[in-house]
Every structure is written in C-alpha cells, then in structure tokens.
Amino acid sequence: MSETCFTFEEYCDDLGPIKIVHLHEPSCGLRGIVVIDNVACGPSIGGVRMAPDVSTREVFRLARAMTLKNAAAGLPHGGGKAGIVADPRTPDKARLIRAFARAIRDLVDYIPGPDMGTDEICMGWMHDEIKRALGLPRVLGGIPLDEIGATGFGLAECAEVAAPVCNLVIKGATVAIEGFGNVGKHVARFLEEKGAKLVAASDRKGTIYDPAGISVAALMEAKVASGSVVGYSKGKKLDQAEIFGLPCDILIPAARPDCIHKDNVETIQAKLILQGANIPATPEAETRLYQRGILNIPDLIANAGGVTCASVEYHGGNEAQAFQEISQKVRRNTQEVLSRSRKEGIEPRKAAVDLARERVRHAMTFRACG
Ligand code: NAD
C-alpha cells in the first residue's frame, strides 16, 4: 500500500473518521482500505473503488464527502468508502471482490455500493457473500439507478425549485449540458418533459449547439448510432470546451471535476448552474460565480438523486418510491440551502456544507460514548 503511516492529527476532526481499516489477505492478494467516517445518522454507505493506486487519503476524502452528501440529502445514513488496490480489469476480479466482502463481514456499519472499477455484478457477488450491498442487479432486488435516470430526475426537480429564485421559468428555458451520459441525458429528458429547451450538449468528442432546440430523443439516438452527440444531424458542431460560453439559461456540468475554472468562469452566460457532476467547479470559480450573481447549486444538493435511490433500494423500496423520495428530498433541501444562502449571505456550497454538518452533529448528540 502506498500509505501505511497514519496519524490521528492528519485525519481526525469533530465528525470522524471512526474507523480506518486496512485489509490484507495474502492467500489471494487482497489489499483493501475501508474508511467509516461517521455513522450518527445511520449505517454508512459509499462505493468500493477498485484502482491500482487507490490510497487511504483518497478513501478518507471520499468517505467524508459521503458523510456530508448523505446528511445534506437527509438520508438515514452516514458516510463510508472503500478501496481495493487492484486493476479493475484483472481476471481475478470475482475472487478479490468475494475476499473483500468476507473481510468486511463484521464491519456491519459499512454498506458497500458500486464506484469506479466496480459495478452491479460486483455488488451481486458481495450480496452472495455477506447479504449486504447496494446497487444490486434488478433480479436481486436492485433499482438500476442509471437506467431509470435517478440523478437526472433529481436535477430536474432541483431546477424547478431554483428557477424562480433567478427569475427563470422552466417552460421555455434554454439548457446546455456538459456530458451526455447517464446523468446528462436523463436530466435533458426530464427537463424537456417540463417544457425546457435543450440548446447544447457535449461529450468527449465535442459539442452540438442549436439555438432552435435539440430533440432529446433524437440526440440520444444519434449518440447511440454514431458514438457521439456531434453525430446529431442539425445544429453547429463545436469543440468540447465551447459549451461553457454558449448562451443559455441553465448550464449543467455532468461530466468531469473542475471543468469550470478561472479561465472559463467569466464566459458563462447561464443564470442557473446545477452541478450534476461531483465538484465540477474549482472553489475559486464557485466564488466568482457567486460574485457574478449566477445561482450555482452544489453537487451534494443537486445530484443526490442517485444516492437517495440507493438508500431506497437498501430499505426494500421500489422504483416508484425511489422517484417520490428523490423528488421530496431534493426539493426540500434545495429550498433550505437557497434560503440559508440568501439569509446569511453565503455561497450555496457553504450553506449546504453547514446544513450537512449541523445534521450530523445533531445526530451525534444521540450517541452514547463509552
Ligand atoms: P457517464 O460515463 O455515463 O457519462 C459521462 C459523459 O461525459 C459521457 O457522455 C462522456 O462522453 C462525457 N465526457 C467525458 N469527458 C468529457 C469532457 N471532457 N467534456 C464533455 N463531456 C465529457 O457518467 P455519469 O454516470 O453520467 O456521471 C457523470 C458525472 O456525474 C460524474 O462526475 C459522476 O461522478 C457524477 N455523478 C453521477 C451519478 C450517477 O447517478 N450516475 C450520481 C452523482 C454524481
């Protein structure tokens, strides 16, 4: 493992982590890390990342992000995360995943889910070993959150609550989406259903822009047929990065981290940004957006549809219940963060983090110590 040295000073604060566990099973070459950050709100949920270079520090940061996201979303769950130090293409994957599952059998406060390098099949193997995993295949009672568009649905609900705050009406509002994948294509679909007009979308290969409006169904077909949104027959084809400066009312980054930064933040014309991706803007760019009066709803509020869906699955709910829960939670939390941000004159991200920390601290008052 790249890091074996642990100091309490480096990791610990008022929230956690409560456990950092290093796993080693020499018989099958398993090397893993589990960080359970905080369980005051409930058992921790967070994905298992499989990568050759995954580190304790990375797993800790992701576990903390899950503590805040789950609390901000109002879920009865704490935050945790795990890493398996291996190439996800290894032919030994099933053996490693199964060994990992057995090694965490007694860490009952951690519920694994999929993350980079793991998927629903891996979760099926874990479920077989320890009957404790999220993001299961449908046949095992899972709700396929990417297929149903859980995160995109939540973003569209968030848009409806945030729009009036920046004098926008969703019906007729123009939308640009960076990244037309599981998150991007579904938010496009749900916003179109609410009457918004998609004018631009991008992926790894470029941007398609048509101020007259792009049909979401036709764009999905073009992407399947040609492998990219730029295969769409109408509109203008532009470079990938050009999407950020296009005229639109709502901009949704739904691909990479840090894609809104000091070099493009001044070019943004949107009135409302909904963060579909995790940390799509640098902290400096977020502050600049706030100064420019652009309403920017942070990831831990706007993209909580996926984790909410996973929680509903864990508690035995069905798809219809997942949609209901996402709508209710995302709307309420968006409202709360916006009103805090306005009342206290702080950036929406700070309002969201403050809200999450308060909820966790409140839950911690119910825990006995010793
Ligand atoms: P995905 O792989 O399905 O889609 C990503 C899309 O982004 C693809 O269309 C890809 O071509 C495009 N892309 C990649 N690099 C790009 C670039 N440089 N410029 C423009 N487009 C680019 O992934 P996803 O599941 O849609 O996740 C997208 C983001 O949302 C990630 O940051 C992920 O962590 C975050 N997120 C996803 C979920 C979820 O439910 N899937 C939930 C919360 C957050």
Give residue 116's pLDDT: 87
327 Cα: distance to centroid of ligand 1 (angstroms): 21
Distance separating alpha carbons of residues 67 and 263, to the nearest angstrom: 31
Cα of 179 from ligand 1 centre, angstroms = 6
In tens, the pLDDT along 8-47 reads 777 889 999 999 999 999 999 999 999 999 999 999 999 9
Calculate mean pLDDT across residues 51-69.
94
CA atoms within 13 A on the CB side of 350: 12
* Residue to substitute in 203, 224, 307 for testing ligand 1 pocket (most ligand atoms within 8 angstroms of CB): 203
Pocket lining: 206 vs ligand 1, CB cutoff 6 Å: no
- For the stretch 99-123, pLDDT in tens is 999 999 999 999 999 998 999 999 9
Ligand 1 close to Cβ of residue 303 (< 6 A): yes
Q: Which residues are 20's β-sheet partners?
A: 35
Give me the mean pLDDT over the 164-180 stretch.
Answer: 97
Token pair of 248, please? 């639109």
Probe residue for ligand 1, chosen from 158, 204, 219 as the CB with the greatest number of ligand atoms within 8 Å: 204
Instruction: Dump pLDDT digits (tens) for 245-280.
Output: 999 999 999 998 899 999 999 999 999 999 999 889
The structure tokens listed for 102 are 């057995």
Residue with tokens 């190439």: 87
pLDDT digits (tens, 9 = 90+) for 141-163: 999 998 999 999 999 999 999 99
pLDDT value, residue 246: 98
pLDDT at 6 > cutoff 80: no
Say if CB 129 and CB 107 are below 8 A apart. no
- Span 190-219, average pLDDT: 98
* pLDDT, mean of residues 332-350: 97
70-109 b/e (C-beta count within 10 Å ≥ 16 → b)? bbbbbbebbbbbbbbbbebeeeebeebbbbbbebbeebeb
> What atom in ligand 1 is closest to the CA of residue 307?
42
pLDDT tens-digit profile of 289-335? 999 999 999 999 999 999 999 999 999 999 999 999 999 999 999 99
| Residue 314 phi, psi (nearest 5) | -60, -35
- Range 56-63 average pLDDT: 92
Q: Is 81 a catalytic residue?
A: yes
Based on the number of CB atoms within 10 Å of its own CB, is 225 exposed (0-12), middle (13-18) or buried (19 or more)?
Answer: exposed
Residue 45 is encoded by which pair of tokens? Answer: 């949920």
pLDDT > 90: percent of the chain: 92
Q: Note the pLDDT of residue 370.
A: 53
Residue 133 in contact with ligand 1 by CB distance below 6 A = no
Q: Dump the DSSP string for 93-115.
A: HHHHHHHHHHHTTT-TTEEEEE-
Does ligand 1 come within 6 angstroms of the Cβ of 276? Answer: yes
Q: Between 80 and 2, whose confidence is greater?
A: 80
Catalytic residue from among 69, 81, 185, 223: 81
pTM for the model: 0.92
Mean pLDDT across 164-168: 96
Q: Please name the residue whose Cα sits nearest to atom 1 of ligand 1.
A: 181
